[in-house]
Structure 1
Amino acid sequence: MKKRGREKKEGLNEVDVFVGQRLRELRMLAGLSQSDVAAGLGLTFQQLQKYERGFNRVSASRLYKLAQFFRVPVSVFFEGLDSQTGSPAAVSDTHAAESVDANTLRSREALMLARYFQSIRDPQVRSALRELAERCAVDDGAGPAAGSAAGTYGHAAGRA
């Protein structure tokens, strides 16, 4: 019996998984559901879900449309790829799924915090929250973060 799609032994490509994670981050930061984004691009939410999980590869033309939709440069989908992956080699379905699942809660919390932070208009309150977060991170030994989703993707949240 012939199986449809990729066979299990082939695994997922690290680049496809990375681009999918970026897509998910942009969507969540904008406060949009998979159905919202899919409808805006003429897709089904299942297609978008497969893109986000790295099961389906995003074509160049679709990536361009996604960048236009979120009002970001196409390069946003690849920022940080070199430091995360040694080479664009395939990874197993299990490894990719574990990686996505392990980062889901942290990613969701960070994106939601960035989204809420952007909606604060009072500069003093924003400054106080930034300082509080920095002190908490230093107290936990994590140190200040090198970059933030708010700074990198701040212009995407305006579509909420």
Structure 2
Amino acid sequence: MKKRGREKKEGLNEVDVFVGQRLRELRMLAGLSQSDVASALGLTFQQLQKYERGFNRVSASRLFTLAHYFRVPVSVFFEGLEERRSHTEAAGAEAESEGTLRSREALMLARYFQNIRDPQVRAAIRELAERCATASEAEGHAEAMPAAARQGRRGRGEHVAGRA
């Protein structure tokens, strides 16, 4: 007897998972719960959860509705897919799970950053992030940085003291 629906494969489709992750990112950046988005679109939160995890495919019409809801172009759901495919093939599954953790942290930071209204504070945070990233790239890990680098060579402490 022929089964209805799509057949279960050995794993989830990587495109469905990617689109689901983008959906989750958009939802989290907007500060909305799964229930909020689901009810606005006439879905159950379980259905939205399945979309976000890649268990269910998002149809073209639903993708269009989601893009309209979040006020983004449909292409946003696919941006970075090619780079991720080549990166995943080269680095393997370990890098993928590490990327998910980094993605979650990045989303949280972006959400907090959006709520900061003072342009000087925003600029200071951007500068701090840039310095940390540069130091991390140069030294391998931020924990391995010398104490002088952690304190800031360009007088970061002066900026902080000047604000107090």
Confirm or deny a common fold (TM above 0.5).
yes
Q: CA deviation at 1:11?
A: 2.2
2:12: which partner in 1?
A: 12
SS at 1:85 equivalent: helix
2:127: which partner in 1?
A: 131
Judged with a 3 Å threshold, the aligned counterparts in structure 2 of structure 1 residues 110 and 43 are, in CA distance, closer, same or farther, namely same
Could you tell me how far apart the structure 2 residues matched to 1:56 and 1:99 are?
24
TM-score w.r.t. length of structure 1 = 0.73
Could you tell me how far apart the structure 2 residues matched to 1:49 and 1:98 are?
24
Could you tell me how far apart the structure 2 residues matched to 1:51 and 1:99 are?
23
Structure with max Cα Rg: 2
1:45: which partner in 2?
A: 45
Judged with a 3 Å threshold, the aligned counterparts in structure 2 of structure 1 residues 69 and 18 are, in CA distance, closer, same or farther, namely same
1:141 lines up with 2:141 in the alignment: no
1:54: which partner in 2?
A: 54
Q: CA deviation at 1:84?
A: 1.5
Could you tell me how far apart the structure 1 residues matched to 2:14 and 2:122 are?
36
- What amino acid is aligned across from residue 131 of structure 1 in structure 2? E
TM-score w.r.t. length of structure 2 = 0.71
Maintained 8 Å contact 1:28/1:108:
no
2:77: which partner in 1?
A: 77
RMSD (Å), alpha carbons = 2.6
Could you tell me how far apart the structure 2 residues matched to 1:30 and 1:110 are?
14
Judged with a 3 Å threshold, the aligned counterparts in structure 2 of structure 1 residues 7 and 100 are, in CA distance, closer, same or farther, namely farther
Q: CA deviation at 1:120?
A: 1.1
Gaps of 5+ in 2: 87-92, 140-164
Aligned residues: 133
Question: Which fold has the larger relative contact order, with Cα–Cα distance below 8 Å and residues 6 or more apart in sequence?
Answer: 1
